[in-house]
C-alpha cells in the first residue's frame, strides 16, 4: 500500500484499481454512431440543441467558465449535481465501508454524516465550542486519535447553521500536520462572507479540498450544480466515481446564462443588498420579544436563540413562514434565511418587531439576450446607492451614469455586445432593456406624476429641454444637431435612437429639444 503514490494510496483500493467507465458524451462534428443515441432532436425540435446526444461528463465550455469564476485550472475542478454530489463522491472515493472514517464538527451541515452513513464510514466528532467557534485543539486531538483510517475532515465555513467562519490557522495546521488526510472546507456560503476563500491556499497544500455551490449566491438551487476544487490527482480519482453524465444539457445552459458576464453584475448588486438586509434584519430582531440571542453570521441566514417558542411558531405558521428548527440537537434555536426586503419585513412582523411601515423599493430587473447582445439591467427607483455600468462604450457608460445620478435611481447595467462590428446594437439594446426595467420598477405607477415636463438644462455650450409623459404609448421627438460625428466611441447619430428605444419599452412619450451644440462666441466666461 505505502509504496503507492498519494492520493492513490488513500483512495479505496477498488477505485484505485479499476479503469473508469468510458463516458461517450460530448457531441462533436463527427458522425456519432457510437452511443446508440437518437439521430433527431426531441420534438418540438426547436431550441432542443443537442438533447438527443449524451453530454460530456464534464461539459467543456461550462468547466472553463467555472474555472474562470473560481480562479483555478480546469483540472482542479469536479463539477457535479450540487456540492452535495461532491460530498458523496468524496466519501465513495476515499472511505472503505466498515474500515475508514470521516471527522465532522457538529453542529454542522447534516449531509456529511448522511453520506458517511450510507457509505458505511465511521464518524468522529470534534464538536464546536459553546459559542460555535471551531475548537482547533479538539480537532487536532481527535484527528490524532483517529488517524488510522481517518480519510476526510469536513469543515464548513461559514458554518451551516451557526454562520461563523473558521480560523485560517486551524485549516493550515491540519493541512500541514496531516498531509495524508483530505481537509475539506465547504464554502457553500463564501460569497456572503468577507473572509477570503481557501482556494488560494491549495497552491501550498495538496490535501486541501474546497467545495463551492451555485445554489445559494447564484440563485441556482433548483438547477443542481456545484464543484469540488482539489489537487488534479484527487479530482482524477473522483471522476472515476462520478456518474458518466451528471450534467444534463438544460443544466449546462441554465448555469452558463446565469454566469454570463452581464449577469455577474446583477449577482454583485444582489449580494450587496443581501448583506445589508442581513444587518438590517439582525438589528431589527434585537427588538423582538421572542429572540434572546442573534449569532453573528457571515452567511445568508441567522441562527437565533428564541423564547416562548410555541407562540412564535404559531405566528410564523399563521403568516405561512417556514424557518428551520433542529429539534433535540439544538433546542431553543432556529435558523432563518435572509430573503428579499419585502419577505424580511413579513418575517419581522411575525417576530413582533415594529418596523416603520415602509413601501418596498420599486425595482426592475431585465435580462435581454439576442445574437448581438447579452444585457442585464437592474434598477432601483428608491435606492440610488448602487450604480455600476459597463456597456463597453465609455461615453455611453457616462451618459447612463448621468441619467441614473440626476434621475436619483440606482442602476446596474452591463452588456456584452458585438462591438467588434460597431456600437449600434449595444447602444439600442441597452436602451430597450433599460426602458423595460424602468417600466417594471414603476409597476402600476401609483403615487407618481405622469408628466415630467419643462426641464431646462444648461450645459457649457448648449441647453436642453426635455418633456416626458409616462402615458404607456411610445413616442419620441428629437430636435438638435451634433457638431461632431462621434464622442469617443459613441456615434452622435445614435443619440436619438437611445431615446427612441427607451420610449418604446418604457411606454413613454419623450420630447427633447437641444439648442447650441457648438462653442458659442461671446459667451464671455
Ligand atoms: C446548501 C449547502 C450545500 C449544498 O449545496 P448544493 O450545491 O445545493 O448541493 C453544501 N454545503 C452546505 C454547508 C450547504 O449549506
Q: Please give the residue that has the higher pLDDT: either 368 or 59.
A: 59
Inform me whether the pLDDT recorded for 454 exceeds 80. Answer: no
213 lines ligand 1 (CB under 6 A): yes
Q: Which atom of ligand 1 is nearest to the CA of 109?
A: 13
| Nearest ligand 1 atom, CA 215 | 8
246 lines ligand 1 (CB under 6 A): no
413 CA distance to ligand 1 middle (Å): 30
Distances from the Cα of 77 to the Cα of 91, 154, 210, 267, 417, angstroms: 17, 18, 10, 22, 29
pLDDT of residue 255 exceeding 90, the answer is yes
Closest CA to 290 of 302, 298, 279, 278: 302
Residue 418, CA distances (Å) to 1, 355, 390, 391, 467 in order? 57, 47, 14, 11, 32
Q: What are the DSSP calls for 219-241, one per residue?
A: S-TTT--EEEE--HHHHHHHHHH
pTM to 2 decimal places: 0.83
What's the fold here for domain 58-259?
A: 3.40.640
Residues 32-42: pLDDT tens digits?
888 899 888 88
Please name which of 453, 395, 379 lies closest in space to residue 427, comparing C-alpha atoms.
Answer: 395
Is the pLDDT at 154 greater than 80, yes or no?
Answer: yes
Distance of CA 377 from the midpoint of ligand 1 (Å)? 28
Residue intervals of the chain classified under CATH 3.40.640.10 are 58-259
Cell for 471? 402615458
Q: What is the distance between the alpha carbons of residues 135 and 305, in angstroms, rounded to a whole number?
A: 21
Rounded mean pLDDT of the chain? 92
Give the CATH number of domain 363-516. 3.30.230.40
Query: 315-327 pLDDT, tens per residue?
Result: 999 999 999 999 9
Per-residue pLDDT at 517: 61
Q: Where does CATH 3.90.1150.10 sit in the chain?
A: 266-350
Q: Whose CA is nearest to atom 2 of ligand 1?
A: 188
Binning pLDDT at 50, 70 and 90, where does residue 67 land?
very high
Q: How far is the CA of 114 from the centre of ligand 1 (A)?
A: 13
CA distance 20 to 237: 9
Which CATH architecture is the domain 266-350 placed in?
Alpha-Beta Complex (3.90)
In short, whether 89's Cβ falls inside 6 Å of ligand 1 is no
Start-end of CATH 3.30.230.40 domains in the chain: 363-516
- Atom 1 (ligand 1): residue with closest C-alpha? 188
Mean pLDDT, residues 150-162 taken together: 98
pLDDT tens-digit readout, 105-147: 999 999 999 999 999 999 999 999 999 999 999 999 999 998 7
Lowest mean pLDDT segment, chosen from 74-78, 105-109, 200-204, 269-273: 269-273
Residue 217 Cβ contacting ligand 1 at under 6 Å: no
Atom of ligand 1 nearest to the CA of 213: 7
Amino acid at each position: 500500500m505505502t509504496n503507492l503514490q498519494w492520493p492513490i494510496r488513500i483512495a479505496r483500493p477498488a477505485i484505485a484499481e479499476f479503469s473508469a467507465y468510458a463516458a461517450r458524451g460530448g457531441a462533436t462534428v463527427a458522425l456519432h454512431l457510437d452511443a446508440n443515441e437518437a439521430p433527431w432532436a426531441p420534438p418540438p425540435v426547436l431550441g432542443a440543441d443537442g438533447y438527443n446526444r449524451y453530454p460530456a461528463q464534464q461539459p467543456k465550455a461550462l468547466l472553463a467558465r467555472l474555472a474562470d469564476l473560481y480562479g483555478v485550472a480546469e483540472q482542479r475542478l469536479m463539477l457535479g449535481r450540487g456540492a452535495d454530489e461532491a460530498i458523496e463522491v468524496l466519501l465513495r472515493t476515499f472511505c472503505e465501508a466498515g474500515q475508514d472514517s470521516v471527522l465532522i464538527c457538529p453542529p454542522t451541515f447534516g449531509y456529511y454524516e448522511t453520506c458517511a452513513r450510507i457509505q458505511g464510514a465511521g464518524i468522529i466528532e470534534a464538536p464546536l465550542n459553546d459559542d460555535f467557534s471551531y475548537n482547533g485543539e479538539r480537532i487536532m486531538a481527535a484527528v490524532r486519535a483517529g488517524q488510522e483510517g481517518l480519510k476526510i475532515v469536513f469543515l464548513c465555513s461559514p458554518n451551516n447553521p451557526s454562520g461563523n467562519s473558521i480560523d485560517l490557522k486551524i485549516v493550515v495546521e491540519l493541512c500541514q500536520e496531516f498531509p495524508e488526510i483530505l481537509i475539506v472546507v465547504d464554502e457553500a456560503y463564501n460569497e456572503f462572507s468577507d473572509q477570503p476563500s481557501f482556494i488560494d491556499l491549495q497552491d501550498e497544500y495538496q490535501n486541501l479540498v474546497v467545495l463551492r455551490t451555485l445554489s445559494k449566491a447564484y440563485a441556482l438551487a433548483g438547477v443542481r450544480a456545484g464543484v469540488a476544487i482539489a489537487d488534479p490527482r484527487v479530482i482524477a480519482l473522483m471522476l472515476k466515481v462520478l456518474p458518466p453524465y451528471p450534467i444534463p444539457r438544460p443544466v449546462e445552459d441554465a448555469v452558463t446564462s446565469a454566469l454570463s458576464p452581464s449577469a455577474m453584475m446583477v449577482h454583485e448588486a444582489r449580494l450587496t443588498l443581501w448583506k445589508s438586509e442581513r444587518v438590517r434584519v439582525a438589528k431589527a430582531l434585537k427588538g423582538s420579544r421572542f429572540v434572546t440571542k442573534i449569532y453573528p453570521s457571515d452567511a445568508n441566514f441567522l441562527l437565533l436563540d428564541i423564547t416562548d417558542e410555541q407562540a412564535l411558531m404559531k405566528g410564523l405558521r399563521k403568516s405561512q413562514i417556514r424557518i428551520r428548527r433542529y429539534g433535540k440537537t439544538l433546542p431553543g434555536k432556529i435558523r432563518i434565511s435572509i430573503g428579499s426586503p419585502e419577505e424580511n419585513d413579513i418575517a419581522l412582523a411575525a417576530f413582533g418587531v415594529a418596523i416603520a411601515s415602509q413601501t418596498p423599493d420599486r425595482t426592475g430587473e431585465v435580462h435581454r439576450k439576442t445574437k448581438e447582445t447579452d444585457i442585464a439591467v437592474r434598477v432601483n427607483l428608491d435606492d440610488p446607492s448602487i450604480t455600476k455600468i459597463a456597456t463597453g462604450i465609455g461615453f455611453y457608460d457616462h451618459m447612463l451614469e448621468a441619467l441614473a445620478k440626476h434621475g436619483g435611481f440606482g442602476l446596474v447595467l452591463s452588456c456584452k455586445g458585438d462591438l467588434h462590428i460597431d456600437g449600434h446594437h449595444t447602444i439600442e439594446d441597452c436602451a430597450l432593456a433599460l426602458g423595460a426595467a424602468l417600466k417594471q420598477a414603476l409597476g402600476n405607477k401609483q403615487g407618481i406624476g405622469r408628466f415630467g415636463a419643462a426641464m431646462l438644462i444648461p450645459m457649457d455650450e448648449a441647453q436642453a429641454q426635455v418633456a416626458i409623459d409616462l402615458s404607456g404609448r411610445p413616442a419620441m421627438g428629437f430636435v438638435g444637431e451634433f457638431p461632431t460625428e462621434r464622442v469617443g466611441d459613441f456615434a452622435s447619430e445614435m443619440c436619438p435612437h437611445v431615446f427612441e428605444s427607451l420610449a418604446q419599452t418604457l411606454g413613454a412619450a419623450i420630447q427633447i429639444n437641444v439648442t447650441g451644440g457648438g462653442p458659442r462666441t461671446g459667451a464671455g466666461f
